[in-house]
Amino acid sequence: MRIMIPFIILSALILTACSPTVPVVPSLPTNVPVEVFNEVEGGLIAEPITDALKRVTKKPFGLKISSNDSPVDTERFSGYHTGVDFETFPEEQESDVSVYAICEGPVVLKRTATGYGGVLIQRCILEGEDITVLYGHLRLSSIPMELNEKLLKGQRIGILGQGYSNETDGERKHLHLGIHKGFSTVLLGYVQEPERLQEWIDPLTLLK
Ligand SMILES: [Zn+2]
């Protein structure tokens, strides 16, 4: 947003300066890339965590990892990452870090699961497409919503689990966000064949 708004204004100024047919108060040109509109409109999805884009420093969508090739120490997973990991900053290790619903739709799963600790799955319809959204490594006791309760886009779900505890199943304090196509409930954080990544959507393509 901070970058794109000046860019749009600058583009409009250049267009105005270069073309006498452009009105003095220009409307957005029709050939602006989709992500510019998303940014102006506040994003197709809401941020799952504040400053989301600054936090993707270790595991983006689709990254292939193994026990001896991983951006995190003592890796116990392997395969292709089906979501995006949003890291926590050093000063957040002992404080509450809120997680927000990225879209509007009901809770379809809320429980502890291996590899995640607390996990919540939500169903949404995004531009006509059925999706399920997985939020992993949450403190379950911080989530007041019940199964089938509808979350609003941008609504606070709860907070991240404490790092290296049962709340994160021993993982560092971070948010794993996965967006799976369709309404089936899939907990996989990694797949072993790269072709299977097509069953997921890279959340950053919807945030940027
Ligand atoms: Zn992850």
- Tokens 């989530």 sit on residue: 143
Rounded to the nearest angstrom, the distance between the alpha carbon of 27 and the centre of ligand 1 is: 40
Rounded to the nearest angstrom, the distance between the alpha carbon of 59 and the centre of ligand 1 is: 7
Rounded to the nearest angstrom, the distance between the alpha carbon of 28 and the centre of ligand 1 is: 37
Q: Note whether 86 and 113 are same-domain residues.
A: yes
- Under DSSP, the state recorded for 125 is E
Decide which of 77 and 5 is more confident. 77
pLDDT at residue 208 in the model = 76
Q: Note whether 82 and 172 are same-domain residues.
A: yes
Rounded to the nearest angstrom, the distance between the alpha carbon of 32 and the centre of ligand 1 is: 32
pLDDT, tens only, 191-203:
999 999 999 999 9
Rounded to the nearest angstrom, the distance between the alpha carbon of 18 and the centre of ligand 1 is: 47
Q: Note whether 23 and 90 are same-domain residues.
A: no
Q: Note whether 35 and 121 are same-domain residues.
A: no
3-state helix, strand, coil in the chain (%, to 5): 20, 30, 50
pLDDT at residue 66 in the model = 87
- pLDDT interval class at 72 (50, 70, 90): confident
Instruction: List the domain range (segments joined by +) for residue 24.
Output: 4-40
Domain count, the chain: 2
Q: Note whether 10 and 85 are same-domain residues.
A: no
pLDDT, tens only, 182-193:
999 999 999 999
Q: How far apart are CA 109 and CA 177, in angstroms?
A: 14
Q: Note whether 29 and 108 are same-domain residues.
A: no
Q: Note whether 144 and 96 are same-domain residues.
A: yes
Q: How far apart are CA 50 and CA 53, in angstroms?
A: 9
pLDDT, tens only, 90-144:
999 999 999 999 999 999 999 999 999 999 999 999 999 999 999 999 999 999 9
Rounded to the nearest angstrom, the distance between the alpha carbon of 116 and the centre of ligand 1 is: 9
pTM: 0.79
pLDDT at residue 6 in the model = 54
CATH of the domain at 79: 2.70.70.10
- Under DSSP, the state recorded for 28 is P
Percent of the chain with pLDDT over 90: 72
pLDDT, tens only, 9-56:
545 444 444 444 444 444 444 443 332 332 335 578 999 999 999 999
Residue 167 in any domain: the answer is yes
CA-derived radius of gyration, the chain: 19
Residue 156 DSSP SS3: strand
Q: Note whether 19 and 121 are same-domain residues.
A: no
Q: How far apart are CA 43 and CA 47, in angstroms?
A: 8
Q: Note whether 27 and 84 are same-domain residues.
A: no
Residue 46 in any domain: the answer is no
Average pLDDT over residues 49-76: 91
- pLDDT interval class at 175 (50, 70, 90): very high
> Which two tokens mark 103?
């879209």
Q: Note whether 28 and 94 are same-domain residues.
A: no
Q: How far apart are CA 137 and CA 92, in angstroms?
A: 15
- Under DSSP, the state recorded for 159 is E
Q: Note whether 18 and 99 are same-domain residues.
A: no
Q: Note whether 58 and 158 are same-domain residues.
A: yes
